[in-house]
Structure 1
Amino acid sequence: MKYKSINFKNYSSFKIGDTFDVALFEKGDTQYKNFYLIGSCNNTLIGHNPPPLMMLSKDFDYIKIENNQLKIGGATPSGKIASFCKKHNIANFEFVSHLPGKLGGLVYMNAGLKEYEIFNQLINITTPNGSKQKDEIEFGYRYTNISEPILEATFKLEYGFDENKVSMFKKMRSNQPSTPSAGSCFKNPQGDYAGRLIEAVGLKGKRIGDMAFSEEHANFLVNYGEGKFEDAISLIKEAQKLVKKEFAINLECEIIILDQEYLGKKIL
């Protein structure tokens, strides 16, 4: 198996992390069960002791129209998908340009903006164990039960790229900070907003070292330069503790924390 050395301080959108060797999953490979699959790490906080990591190789970076369906490889960047759909007048993917990441990650977390979600157009996915139809997958708000690498996804093909939707999605994202972050820190609890709750307990702008809850949008945990993993965890725990105490609401992380101590566990 081939490996690639990645400095996560440069690679991840959070700009936090050490250098680790990451296994490359190539066409024909079958071994993946002892690894944690990563994409472009746009919603990922890497700790000092992550599990063994793996990423899809360039073999899975492609887009094609086949049998009147749209087929996209799991390693295809969202920007490439958005450009392809605009060029070919394909509808229903306008929101993707505002969701940094790769196709596999977008499908894995059912990424989206409000009611516009990647699963809306999904037909099936291809994994190392074969094809899975949409109705075989459990999914919801920023959630799926997919536990295998997503090598390819097939979508309904409809035409009519809508520039008005592009403008709408751009406006929806206009209040989000440009400072390095991993996007929304917490999922919005049902009937409320994580940003409102964080602001209500006085943590908007709260800073530890170079990590802080953004002044622009309280649900964005941002790195002002030399942010450390420990400081990010401290802020996450403080927000969860205060919101639980004040509102009896458990804030669930939307960012993925890759560290052996926290993997698969709730932070609190």
Structure 2
Amino acid sequence: MHYKSINFSKYSSFKMGGTFDVALLDETVNDCEDYYLIGACNNILIGDNPPPLMMLPKKYDYINIEDNILKIGAATPSGKVASFCKKNNITNFEFLSHLPGKLGGLIYMNAGLKEFEIFNNLLNVTLLSGKKAKDEIAFGYRFTNINEPILEAAFKIEYGFDSKKVTMFKEMRANQPSTPSAGSCFKNPPNEYAGRLIEAVGLKGVRKGDMCFSQQHANFLVNMGEGKFKDALYLIREAQRRVKEKFGIALEEEIVILEKGLAKI
């Protein structure tokens, strides 16, 4: 197996973390259970002692149209997909222009903006074990039951790229900070907003070291400079504790925390 050394303080959207060797997926390897598959690290908080990491090699970065079906490699960046769809007048992917990440990660968490989700036009995915149709996968709000590497996804094509949607999605993201973060820290509880809850318990703008719940949007944990994993974890756990005590609501992390031996809350 081949490895790639990655400095996560430069690679991840959080702009924090050490340098670790990441395995490149080899299709001859049948058992990847000991590895966590990463993509562009736009929703990941890397710990000081992460589990073994793996990523897809460059050959999974591609977009093809075959028999009026859009086939996309799981290592393809969202911006590349959005640009391809604009060029080829394909609709329903406009939201990807403002949703960073690689396709595999977007599918794994059923990423989206409001009701626009990556699963909406999905036909099937190719996993390490073989192909699965959409109706064979359990999925919901920022959730799927996929538990193995995604290699490719196929989507139905509808034509009529809508530039007005691109503008709408840009406006939807306008209140989000540009400071390094991993996007929304917590999933919105049913009929609630995580940002409102965090603000209500007095944590908006609260800082621990160089980590802070943003003044611009309380559900964004941001790195103000030289952020440390321990400080990020402290704020995450403090938000969960305070919200549980005041509202009886268990905030579920939307970001993925990669650290060996870390207990879930």
- Band the TM-score falls in, shorter-chain normalisation: over 0.9
Partner of residue 214, structure 1: 214
Runs of at least 5 residues in structure 2 that lack an aligned partner in the other structure: none
Residue 87 of structure 1 pairs with residue 117 of structure 2: no
Q: Match of 1:233, SS?
A: helix
- The structural deviation recorded for 1:67 is 1.1
Q: Superposed, which structure 2 residues align to 1:95-244 within 5 Å?
A: 95-244=95-244
Contact 1:56 1:75 in 2 (8 A): yes
- Percent identical among aligned pairs is 71
Q: Deviations over 1:165-192 (max 9, x none)?
A: 0000000000000000000000000000
Matched pairs, number: 265
Residue of structure 1 in register with 2:259 after alignment: 259
| Structure 1: gaps of 5 or more residues | none
Q: Distance in 2 between matches of 1:95 and 1:150?
A: 21
SS of 2:192's equivalent in the other structure is coil
For the 8 Å contact 2:61–2:73, the answer to whether it is kept is yes
Q: Distance in 2 between matches of 1:71 and 1:179?
A: 33
For residue 129 of structure 2, what is the amino acid of its counterpart? N
Give the deviation of 1:141 after TM superposition.
0.1
Distance in 2, matches of 1:28 and 1:238, equals 43
CA contact (8 A) 1:41 1:101 kept: yes
Tell me if the contact between 1:27 and 1:59 (Cα under 8 Å) persists in the aligned partners.
no
Corresponding residue for 1:73? 73
TM-score (norm 2): 0.98
Contact kept in structure 2, 1:26 and 1:59, CA below 8 Å: no
Q: Give the partner amino acid of 2:154.
A: T
CA RMSD in angstroms, aligned pairs only:
0.9
What corresponds to 1:12 in structure 2? 12
Q: How far off is 1:30 after superposition?
A: 3.5
The amino acid of 1:40's aligned partner reads A
1:57 aligns with 2:81: no
1:218-250 per-residue CA deviation (whole Å, 9 max, x = no partner) reads 000000000000000000011001100111000
Deviation, 1:29, is 4.6
TM-score when normalising by structure 1: 0.97
Q: Distance in 1 between matches of 2:169 and 2:20?
A: 35
Q: Distance in 2 between matches of 1:252 and 1:31?
A: 29
Secondary structure of the structure 2 residue equivalent to 1:254: coil
Between the aligned partners of 2:160 and 2:32, the Cα distance in structure 1 is 38
